[in-house]
Amino acid sequence: MNPARVPRPSVWLLAALFLACAGSLPEGVVVRIGGEEKSYEDFDRYVMETLDVDASRSSSDVLSRLFERFVDDQLLLRWARDRGFETATSHEAAAALLEASPPEISSADVERYYTEHRSDFQRPARARLRQILVEDRASAELAVAELEAGVDFGEVARIRSIGPSAPDGGFQGELSREDLPGALADVVFALEEGEWSELLEADYGFRIFQVERFLPDETLSLQVAAPSIRSRLVAERSEALIRQAIEEARREYNLRVAVSRLPFEYSGPYRASATE
């Protein structure tokens, strides 16, 4: 007589049970990175530290972006600690990573970027511009009288102007036609170097402009552009190194996110790691 056979669960059933257990998260947990679990309260504190407001006062779009940063930060921190970096925050983890593997930018890298992005270093004709901004016509006419008496434009701006650039003598920067409203551009580029404009009425008072000098259109040389190019390449490669570490952590620690427990509509890339 054959002994009674005990039914054995199918391979597919065992696999399904294993995945269900592996994917489930304890109550209140919204993120699991390996054995580390984070609650929504942890995320809420993160939002408070970042925005100085609690999460309930932010939109779903803002919270979705912050949640991605929160998960990324936790992944990077775990990745760094497991590799022996003494870090307490994700910023320290990123700094430690970049200190251990600093991006190397060669002169050839800089020259190649300059050649491939040469149009980025073209600068149109510009005017070095100063402004005096006053509240009423009487103040404006007083400023004009001082200018006509030979007082330096920058000095009158420092004394009379109410604009934020007054401490700098009213300096507005080097501006092209495209940087200015059409009517104002016509006024400015019709002036001679050193000349100031007539009184220009504005919604908030009166303005007087002076062109210190005109600068021709030009293409910055490689030598002049090199420092900014190097800084840009360092920033780009640093970001790539940090992103690579985060992606490694995602694979290594079997990231799980309980999207359904988030009290806002999450629409970011971590839906792919979602579990109920």
Spacing of C-alpha 18 from chain mean position? 42
Those residues with Cβ within 8 angstroms of residue 202's Cβ, 6 or more apart along the chain or in another chain: 133
**99: which 2 tokens?**
């200190």
Phi, psi (5° rounding) for residue 50? -85, -45
Kindly tell me if the per-residue pLDDT of 16 is higher than 80: no
User: What pLDDT was estimated at residue 220?
Assistant: 93
Q: What is the pLDDT of residue 274?
A: 64
Q: What is the DSSP string of 7-51?
A: P---HHHHHHHHHHHHH---TTEEEEETTEEEEHHHHHHHHHHHH
Q: According to the model, what pLDDT value does residue 204 have?
A: 82
Mean pLDDT of the chain, nearest integer: 88
pLDDT in tens, 64-101: 999 999 999 999 999 999 999 989 999 999 999 999 99
pLDDT in tens, 137-194: 999 999 999 999 999 999 999 999 999 999 999 999 999 999 999 899 999 999 999 9
Q: Rounded CA gap, 175 and 80, in Å? A: 45
Domains of the chain listed by start with CATH number: 25-124+220-276 (1.10.4030.10), 126-216 (3.10.50.40)
* Residue type (1 letter), 212: E
pLDDT of residue 4 exceeding 70, the answer is no
User: Which residues, 6 or more positions from 45, have their beta carbon under 8 angstroms from its beta carbon?
Assistant: none
Tell me the whole-structure pTM to 2 decimals: 0.66
pLDDT digits over 218-275, tens only? 999 999 999 999 999 999 999 999 999 999 999 999 899 998 899 999 888 887 666 6
Residue-level pLDDT at 190: 96
For 34-62, what is each residue's pLDDT tens digit?
A: 889 999 999 999 999 888 887 878 899 99
Q: How far apart are CA 25 and CA 258, in angstroms?
A: 7
- H/E stretch holding 133 reads strand 126-134
Among residues 96, 97, 42, the alpha carbon closest in space to that of 70 is found at: 42
